[in-house]
Amino acid sequence: MSNADSVRVRVFSLNCWGIHYLSKHCGQRYDMIGDMLSKGEHDIVLLQEVWSEKDHLSLKKKLACSHPHSHYFKSGVIGSGLAIFSKHRILDTFLYRYSLNGYPYMAHHGDWFGGKAVGMAVLSIGSLTANVYVTHLHAEYCREKDSYLPHRVVQAWELQQFVRHTSAGADVVILGGDLNMHPQDLGNRLLRSYTGLRDSYLETAKFDGCEDGMTLIADNPFTCKKELVPFEKGIRIDYILFKGSSKTDIFCDSMSTTKGCVPDHPFPYSDHEALTSELRLESHTPPEVGKDEQSKDQDSAGKVAELVDIVTEARTEVKVGLHCAERKRCTAARTGVMGLALLFLELAIATVSWLALGAEQPFPRTSFYLLAALCFAILLTTSLLYIFYTMELKSLQGAEDQMRLAVGSLQEKLRGFPLAQPHNVQRKPPVGDPEE
Amino acid sequence: MSNADSVRVRVFSLNCWGIHYLSKHCGQRYDMIGDMLSKGEHDIVLLQEVWSEKDHLSLKKKLACSHPHSHYFKSGVIGSGLAIFSKHRILDTFLYRYSLNGYPYMAHHGDWFGGKAVGMAVLSIGSLTANVYVTHLHAEYCREKDSYLPHRVVQAWELQQFVRHTSAGADVVILGGDLNMHPQDLGNRLLRSYTGLRDSYLETAKFDGCEDGMTLIADNPFTCKKELVPFEKGIRIDYILFKGSSKTDIFCDSMSTTKGCVPDHPFPYSDHEALTSELRLESHTPPEVGKDEQSKDQDSAGKVAELVDIVTEARTEVKVGLHCAERKRCTAARTGVMGLALLFLELAIATVSWLALGAEQPFPRTSFYLLAALCFAILLTTSLLYIFYTMELKSLQGAEDQMRLAVGSLQEKLRGFPLAQPHNVQRKPPVGDPEE
3-state helix, strand, coil in chain B (%, to 5): 45, 20, 35
Instruction: Report the candidate in A394, A316, B386, A402 with the shortest Cα–Cα distance to residue A386.
Output: A394
Give the 3-state secondary structure of residue A277: strand
Count CB atoms within 10 A of the CB of residue B5: 12
Mean pLDDT score of chain B, rounded to an integer? 88
Model confidence band, residue B2 (pLDDT cutoffs 50, 70, 90): very low
Residue pairs between chains A and B whose CB atoms are closer than 8 Å: 116
- Closest in B104, B366, B402 to A93, CB measured: B402
- Give the Cα separation of B10 and B277 in Å (integer): 6
Our separate counts of H helices and E strands in chain A read 10, 15
Q: Is A71 part of the annotated catalytic residue set?
A: no
Separation in Å, CA of A365 to nearest CA in chain B: 7
Note whether B394 contacts A79, CB cutoff 8 Å.
yes
Report pLDDT for A288.
55
- Of A355-369, B155-169, B188-202, B405-419, the least confident: A355-369
Count CB atoms within 10 A of the CB of residue B273: 28
Give the 3-state secondary structure of residue B176: strand
For chain B, what is the radius of gyration of the CA atoms? Answer: 26
B334-392 pLDDT, tens digit per residue, is 999 999 999 999 888 888 887 876 655 556 777 788 888 889 889 999 999 999 999 99
- Give the Cα separation of A378 and B245 in Å (integer): 56
Which listed residue (B136, B272, B284, B323) is catalytic? B272
Note whether A401 contacts B89, CB cutoff 8 Å.
no
Is the N-terminal amide bond of B150 cis, ω within 30° of 0? Answer: no
Report pLDDT for A293.
53
Report pLDDT for B286.
66
Classify residue B213 by its DSSP letter.
G
Contact B213, B236 (CB under 8 A): yes
Q: Which residue of B has its CA nearest to A91?
A: B409
Angle at CA A410, nearest 5°, toward B53 and B242? Answer: 65
Distances (CA, A) of B429 to A115, A282, B42, B426, B436: 42, 43, 35, 8, 7
Report pLDDT for A361.
57
Chain A residues near residue B115 by CB distance under 8 angstroms: 391, 394
Q: Which residue of A has its CA nearest to B396?
A: A74
Q: Which residue of A has its CA nearest to B82?
A: A398
Note whether B365 contacts A365, CB cutoff 8 Å.
yes
Chain B residues near residue A395 by CB distance under 8 angstroms: 74-75
Separation in Å, CA of A225 to nearest CA in chain B: 34
Predicted structure pTM score: 0.89
The residue count for chain B: 436
Instruction: Report the candidate in B23, B88, B20 with the shortest Cα–Cα distance to residue B54.
Output: B20
Chain A residues near residue B72 by CB distance under 8 angstroms: 401
Chain B residues near residue A391 by CB distance under 8 angstroms: 76-77, 115
B206-261 pLDDT, tens digit per residue, is 999 999 999 999 999 999 888 888 898 999 999 999 999 999 999 999 999 999 88
- Give the Cα separation of B314 and B307 in Å (integer): 10
Pairing of strands B6-15, A216-217: unpaired
3-state secondary structure A117-163: EEEEEEEEECCEEEEEEEEECCCCCCCCCCCCHHHHHHHHHHHHHHH
Query: Can you say whether residue A20 is alpha, beta or left, with left for phi > 0 and alpha for psi between -120 and 50 degrees?
Result: beta
pLDDT along chain A (436 residues), means of 10: 75 94 92 96 97 94 96 90 96 94 88 91 95 96 88 95 95 97 95 95 95 93 86 94 95 95 92 96 72 60 89 92 94 95 90 73 72 89 93 92 90 73 39 38
Chain B residues near residue A365 by CB distance under 8 angstroms: 365-366
State the average pLDDT over residues B36-47. 96
Q: For residues A358 and B17, which has the higher predicted lDDT (pLDDT)? A: B17
- Closest in A74, A76, A168 to B401, CB measured: A74
- Give the Cα separation of A384 and B140 in Å (integer): 27
Does residue B421 have a pLDDT over 50? no
Cα-Cα end-to-end distance for chain B: 27
Q: b vs e for B13-28, b when ≥16 Cβ sit within 10 Å of the residue's Cβ? A: bbbbbbbeeebeebee
Report pLDDT for B418.
62
For chain A, what is the radius of gyration of the CA atoms? Answer: 26
Model confidence band, residue B3 (pLDDT cutoffs 50, 70, 90): low
State the average pLDDT over residues B63-92. 94
Contact A255, A209 (CB under 8 A): yes
Report pLDDT for A4.
54
- Closest in B91, B99, B376 to A409, CB measured: B91
Chain A residues near residue B79 by CB distance under 8 angstroms: 394
A103: Cβ–Cβ under 8 A, 6 or more apart, which residues? A112, A388
Report pLDDT for B361.
57
Dihedral sign, Cα of residue A122, residue A123, residue A128, residue A131: negative
For the CA atoms of B214, B219, B224, B227, the dihedral, rounded to the nearest 10 degrees, stands at 40
Model confidence band, residue B429 (pLDDT cutoffs 50, 70, 90): very low
**Which helix (H) or strand (E) covers residue B248, if one does?**
strand B248-257
Report pLDDT for A316.
92
Q: Which amino acid, B314?
A: A
Angle at CA B379, nearest 5°, toward B396 and B383? Answer: 20
ipTM reported for the complex, 2 dp: 0.88
Residue A285: φ, ψ to 5°? -85, 145
Note whether A90 contacts B406, CB cutoff 8 Å.
no
Instruction: Report the candidate in B36, B435, B37, B39 with the shortest Cα–Cα distance to residue B204.
Output: B435
Residue A385: φ, ψ to 5°? -65, -40
- Closest in A91, A94, A161 to B94, CB measured: A161
Which listed residue (A109, A272, A284, A323) is catalytic? A272
Note whether B409 contacts A91, CB cutoff 8 Å.
yes
Residue B293: φ, ψ to 5°? -60, -45
- Give the Cα separation of B302 and B300 in Å (integer): 5
Note whether B75 contacts A99, CB cutoff 8 Å.
yes
Note whether A93 contacts B373, CB cutoff 8 Å.
no
Separation in Å, CA of B169 to nearest CA in chain A: 5
Note whether A75 contacts B99, CB cutoff 8 Å.
yes
Q: Which residues pair with B395 in a beta bridge?
A: none
Contact B216, B143 (CB under 8 A): no
- Give the Cα separation of B17 and B23 in Å (integer): 6
Instruction: Report the candidate in A316, A325, A244, A255 with the shortest Cα–Cα distance to residue A10.
Output: A255
B114-147 pLDDT, tens digit per residue, is 889 999 999 999 999 999 999 999 999 888 888 8
